[in-house]
Amino acid sequence: MQLSFTSLIPLLPFFLSPVSASTAPAAADYHEQLNLKPLPQNSLLASFNFRSNTSLPEFEAHNFRFFPRSLGQILQHAGTRELHLRFSLGRWDAETWGARPWDGTKEGGTGVELWAWLDAESDAEADQKWLTLTNALSGLFCASLNFIDSTRTTRPVMSFRPEGDHPNTTMDNMHLLHGVLPREVVCTENLTPFLKLLPCKGKAGVSSLLDGHKLFDASWQSMAIDVKPVCPVGEECVLQIEQTIDMVLDIERSKRPRDNPIPRPIPGHELKCNTTKPYHAEDTCFPTDSLNAQEWTLDQIFGKHMLGNCPLTDPKTPPVCIQAPHSRDVFTSMDVQELKESGNENQRCYLLPSNEEEFHLALPFMPRDGDRPKTDADEFVQPATPLLYAERSLTGHGQEHGGVQAILTNPSPDSEVEFVYMESLPWFMRIYLHTLKARISHRTGSDAGQTLRDDDEVIQEIYYRPFLDRKRGTQLEIRMKIPPGSTVFMSYDFEKTILRYTEYPPDANRGFDVAAAVITILPSNSTAAAAAAVGKVARTSNLRTTGMLLNLPTPDFSMPYNVIIFTSTCIALAFGGLYNILVRRFVGRDEGPEVSLVKLRRRLQEAVQKLKGRIQEKLGVASKEAKKLEAKSD
């Protein structure tokens, strides 16, 4: 049923055209774009962005237009004002790749992350709607979102702000709920429903490049769905859905042909050797670090061809852009119009003809030697430095106590950075907030990174909602300020809980996944002031640490019966022993009635005695007879 509905959506505008022509906004309602950005170390960032919108009154009247009906109905049913859903895998290597795409606002922690603003009168109603929403989305996206229960749901206070434009009247009744499933493995079954929400469904346009084999083989990938109301100044409010896929491809890995996917050693004649090494010879080779020279074509790395334009897209938006210096050679197929923006030195976009021919894009090998040698600067744009580096790890050993340490570095030489660090931890990680410590090391100044000292200035504000066993997890939000060029080491202790044996997953000794910490970098005072002057709210940027794997002590799963029996025996022995002593009467050993066992022993002894007597008697008789015989024979 759902299938037939969604497939109708592209046709809907045509059916509705007499009605909607007058009310529809002038701008086209669907945009899609692929942004390619070569990164150092043979990586390539591909950002797909699909955006469509429908005006709010039409949405209320169930005229969904390009807005996916299946999702729209869920949102209406669950009273969702704003929705953000993320499916992520891998780790963004900020040291090499620099700042994150979209300032990190379109990425999630490893696994599935969902947060939404729900329209509800009370917390209980919000919880009810949240349950509805997670269960419906779970079915729609083939993800275990229904496992986001009360222990995984938090209500962040400082970390998230609505991105859409909400009227003040609805703001009062909006409840923010946030849930993470760090253990969820994002895979092809999540991509298929994601593509189905698109008007062109992966059959044409840039979405035709998306393929599960390549997407989930990437070094890092994040699929995002954001639904929010947008009210442009002087125009009608629209409900906007933005679907984004960001992936960092390892080019060498992606170029591996599909029929021969197993990595094998490179044949000797194809090895690139460093000839400057003294031991370089015919049979010895030191492989060169030739990772930087990139050479690829679009269909090589995605494993598919791009099938022309999506006919529903806004014809003025170029579907493919590449961010590389203009000195980088880029070849495309015929009839493709190259647009170079005057303001942006490093951006080139390609407008495709409206026919449905395949689009080709090739970046040839640029030799680093020869008569016109190229450098890295010709090949890719130097990645921007992020505002903050963050990493988080577990400390300590053993399955009893542990600690978490987050290392947060402000790389900027002159401006401080303010952010909110949010952790939502499972209840079985019992954290001790009194052990929370922030120590700082300055990279510049008198002590230049030599010493760590406790600093009370770093932590500005803490919001803490402690866990309750089996009911809710810990929610910890810390607003921090790091001075320029400094590193903060934040740490706290926790205790590992032993669970009931039925609460462990089947592979208990693998450990439990702990969700990534969400860091929301607040706009600096100058940017906030500049934005306020234009009448906007300055945007925040995000970043997430990696998840953690927590090892808990495990009971022996094989012996519940044995334990029940042993413990019961122990108790019975103690109780029985004491009961005997309390209840029975004392008598002397030779007094009182005989116990059957003693009686039996005595009888046995008597019988033995009797038997002995008889045997002796017989023996006595026998010996007498023998004597008689002897006497006779004599």
Name the site residues for other proteins (rule: CB under 8 A). 397-401, 427, 430, 432-434, 464, 466-470, 495, 497-502, 553-556, 559-560, 563-564, 566-567, 570-571, 573-575, 577-582, 584-589, 592-593, 595
- By beta-carbon proximity to other proteins, the closer residue of 151 and 313 is 151
- By beta-carbon proximity to other proteins, the closer residue of 189 and 400 is 400
Q: How far is the CB of 482 from other proteins (least distance, A)?
A: 23
Q: How far is the CB of 422 from other proteins (least distance, A)?
A: 17
Q: How far is the CB of 493 from other proteins (least distance, A)?
A: 9
- By beta-carbon proximity to other proteins, the closer residue of 339 and 559 is 559
On whether the CB atoms of residues 554 and 526 are closer than 8 A, the answer is no
Q: How far is the CB of 396 from other proteins (least distance, A)?
A: 11
- By beta-carbon proximity to other proteins, the closer residue of 316 and 397 is 397
- By beta-carbon proximity to other proteins, the closer residue of 403 and 484 is 403
Q: How far is the CB of 587 from other proteins (least distance, A)?
A: 6
What CA–CA distance (Å, rounded) separates 479 from 152?
Answer: 22
Pairing, β 459-465 against β 512-514? unpaired
What CA–CA distance (Å, rounded) separates 158 from 461?
Answer: 10
What CA–CA distance (Å, rounded) separates 485 from 494?
Answer: 30
End-to-end CA distance of the chain: 123
What CA–CA distance (Å, rounded) separates 484 from 481?
Answer: 10
- 376 Cβ neighbours under 8 A, 6+ residues apart: 40, 292
On whether the CB atoms of residues 479 and 434 are closer than 8 A, the answer is no
- 562 Cβ neighbours under 8 A, 6+ residues apart: none
On whether the CB atoms of residues 214 and 191 are closer than 8 A, the answer is no
Indicate the SS3 state at residue 12. Answer: helix
State which H helix or E strand residue 441 sits in: strand 429-442
Please report how many Cα atoms fall inside a 13 Å half-sphere around the Cα of residue 624, on the Cβ side: 6
Tokens of 498: 């032993």
Q: How far is the CB of 598 from other proteins (least distance, A)?
A: 9
- By beta-carbon proximity to other proteins, the closer residue of 27 and 564 is 564
On whether the CB atoms of residues 508 and 404 are closer than 8 A, the answer is no
Distance of CA 388 to the CA centre of its chain: 20
Pairing, β 459-465 against β 474-482? antiparallel
Give, in order, the Cα–Cα distances in Å from 47 to each of 222, 247, 265, 319: 10, 6, 31, 11
Strands of 417-425's sheet in order across: 459-465, 474-482, 417-425, 518-522, 541-544
Q: How far is the CB of 156 from other proteins (least distance, A)?
A: 17
Tokens of 255: 């170029």
Residue 420 β-bridge partners = 479, 520
- By beta-carbon proximity to other proteins, the closer residue of 415 and 567 is 567
User: What are the strands, taking DSSP E only, across 483-582?
Assistant: 486-496, 512-514, 518-522, 541-544, 548-550
What CA–CA distance (Å, rounded) separates 38 from 502?
Answer: 48
- By beta-carbon proximity to other proteins, the closer residue of 498 and 531 is 498
On whether the CB atoms of residues 360 and 352 are closer than 8 A, the answer is no
Q: How far is the CB of 582 from other proteins (least distance, A)?
A: 5
- By beta-carbon proximity to other proteins, the closer residue of 264 and 585 is 585
Q: How far is the CB of 494 from other proteins (least distance, A)?
A: 10
- By beta-carbon proximity to other proteins, the closer residue of 3 and 595 is 595
Q: How far is the CB of 126 from other proteins (least distance, A)?
A: 19
- By beta-carbon proximity to other proteins, the closer residue of 122 and 554 is 554
Q: How far is the CB of 432 from other proteins (least distance, A)?
A: 5
- By beta-carbon proximity to other proteins, the closer residue of 532 and 571 is 571
Q: How far is the CB of 122 from other proteins (least distance, A)?
A: 19
- By beta-carbon proximity to other proteins, the closer residue of 174 and 499 is 499
- By beta-carbon proximity to other proteins, the closer residue of 212 and 555 is 555
Q: How far is the CB of 579 from other proteins (least distance, A)?
A: 8
Strands of 361-363's sheet in order across: 296-297, 361-363, 331-332
On whether the CB atoms of residues 447 and 496 are closer than 8 A, the answer is no
Q: How far is the CB of 441 from other proteins (least distance, A)?
A: 22
Q: Which amino acid is at 10?
A: P
Tokens of 102: 């979209």
Give, in order, the Cα–Cα distances in Å from 56 to each of 24, 62, 76, 81, 562: 11, 10, 12, 11, 63
